[in-house]
Amino acid sequence: MPELTSQPTCDLSIIIVSWNVADLLRDCLRSIDENRGELDLEVIVVDGDSHDNSVAMVQNEFPWVDLLACDENVGFPHGNNLGLERANGRYILLLNPDTVILDDALSKMMVYMGENPEVGVLGGQLLNGDGTVQSSRRRFPTLATAFFESTWLETIAPREVHEKYYAQDLPDDAINDVDWVVGACMLSPRQVVAEVGGLDEAYFMYSEELDWCRRIKDSGWRVVYYPEAQIIHYVGQSSDQAVVARHINFQQAKLRYFRKYHGRFFAILLRAFLLLDYGWQIVVESVKGLLGHKRPLRRQRVQAYWQVIKSGLHPAGY
């Protein structure tokens, strides 16, 4: 767990963990600089051994950024924890590099937090590149969610399973308490980090914000969706570079979460189901390939799913 510096010296610390998304990172940093207003803030970029020109770009174009260039892809939780150790702000914003801050979103979030000291996590409204609202607030996943989300059963899931999990009963334009928010933009008071700790580093990617929000709520803090602050989020720009790893990390993170909060027995059942699910998808993709439907794509998917099965999908950290 990260150790924070003893006393804050600025209003806001923004931590960005980046990997091979130099152009998006540039746009993100520009949007922060252009929309910082009167805020006394610092920006900490943790680079996970990018092979593009991310490090040089930050050094040359944004010398005011505190850059930590790692010699390996440290992952989202560990990268953020490294940033937390350097953070000097009264509030700390975890921000994805594939985001663009709009207008006075930062100032609005800071004002809201100041007026609501019981809030432990504040998530802004995420928008797609075309300006449509992106689903970014959730309720905690149930046991049913574990089997339906991101599996072949998803299309036949009872309507209420998705509606509850994705908080679809809540208006997009209304401030609401939720269970957790997507980690692309999460603002927390320094006190929360000091009390609860940083992100669980056993998650390499995915579910780490779910786990963090759960620990924060369990400690008595509120988690709030705040649509008054808008942020464009270009989804999955880093994870799309490693498709097999994305599948493995996603499912292992899911298994860790359910092992951690619902017990070993349920995690064993879920792991068996997920392995069978990928086996079934291999059969489906193979049949489609034999029938001549997008054969290169089917071959690629079969190879990817085999790699997932070969990984064993053991819960992260167990």
Residue 161 lies in a domain: no
For residues 35 and 120, state if they share a domain: yes
Top pLDDT among 86 and 155 is at: 86
DSSP sequence for 78-103: HHHHHHHHH--EEEEEEE-TTEEE-T
pTM of the model: 0.91
* 272 and 209 part of one domain: no
* Residues 225, 265 share a domain: no
Is it the case that residue 2 has pLDDT exceeding 80?
A: no
Same domain, 201 and 250: no
In this structure, the answer to whether residues 274 and 216 fall within a common structural domain is no
Cβ proximity of 117 and 125 under 8 Å: no
163 domain residue, yes or no: no
Please give the Cα distance from 129 to 231 (Å, whole number).
10
Residue 165 domain flag: no
Q: 236 or 96: whose pLDDT is higher?
A: 96
* pLDDT value of position 1: 62
Same-domain check for residues 259 and 307: yes
68: left (phi over 0), alpha (psi -120 to 50) or beta: beta
Percent of the chain with pLDDT over 70: 97
- Domain end point (choices 195, 213, 237): 237
Residues 110 and 178 in one domain: yes
User: pLDDT tens digits, residue range 239-294?
Assistant: 455 578 888 989 999 999 999 999 999 999 999 999 999 999 999 999 998 988 88
Mean of pLDDT over the chain? 93
Q: What is the domain-level CATH number for residue 219?
A: 3.90.550.10
Q: Are residues 232 and 249 in the same domain?
A: no
Task: Examine the fold and report which residue of 189, 213, 237 is the final residue of a domain before the chain moves on.
Answer: 237
Q: Is 46 exposed, middle or buried (0-12, 13-18, 19+ CB in 10 A)?
A: buried
Q: Examine residue 112 and state whether it is found in any structural domain, yes or no.
A: yes
303 domain residue, yes or no = yes
Residue ranges making up the domain that contains 191: 10-127+171-237
Enumerate the β-bridge partners of residue 17: 46
Total count of domains within the chain: 2
State the virtual CA torsion across 215, 218, 221, 225 in degrees, nearest 10.
70
